[in-house]
Amino acid sequence: MQKAQVNPWTWQDQLGFSQAWTVTGADKVTFLSGQAPIDPEGRLVGEDDFDTQAAQVFDNLAAVLHQAGASFDAVVKITVYLTDIARIRDFGRIKDRYISGPQPASTAIGVTALALPGMMLEVEGIAVI
């Protein structure tokens, strides 16, 4: 499989994302449902604690990727839904702990609410293997 970043400019590098990825020769594409700050027992974690919620979301993404036979290196696109779009920099800081190197294509969307009261973010993605 070959993955190539598509970045016609350089400004996105400072913001921690890629404009696009071109993938050829992939054996499998995995679509990751929006992952919430829910622990393995199905409970919301980190009420009023954005960092705790974001870490749980990325732990959940890691678990789903692992079960699919992948890791964060395979992720080419993520979408984050934030109830407070001003937290985008905090999200990026935590994302960088989990996704290193060239960053996936990304979209951030501000929303008024998510599936459960108290959720501050949800992240979905696409991975190629």
Strand partners, 2: 24
Instruction: Give the integer Cα–Cα distance in Å for 98 and 52.
Output: 14
Confidence tier at 90 by pLDDT (50, 70, 90): very high
φ, ψ for residue 86, nearest 5 deg = -65, -15
Q: What is the pTM of this model?
A: 0.91
* Secondary structure (3-state) at 23: strand
pLDDT of residue 17: 83
pLDDT for the residue 16: 83
Confidence bin at 125 (pLDDT 50/70/90): very high
Domains of the chain: 2-128 (3.30.1330.40)
Q: Supply the pLDDT for residue 77.
A: 98
Question: Any idea which of 8-12, 93-97, 105-109 has the lowest mean pLDDT?
Answer: 8-12
What sign for the dihedral angle of Cα 67, 73, 77, 79? Answer: positive
pLDDT band at 11 (very low <50, low <70, confident <90, very high): confident
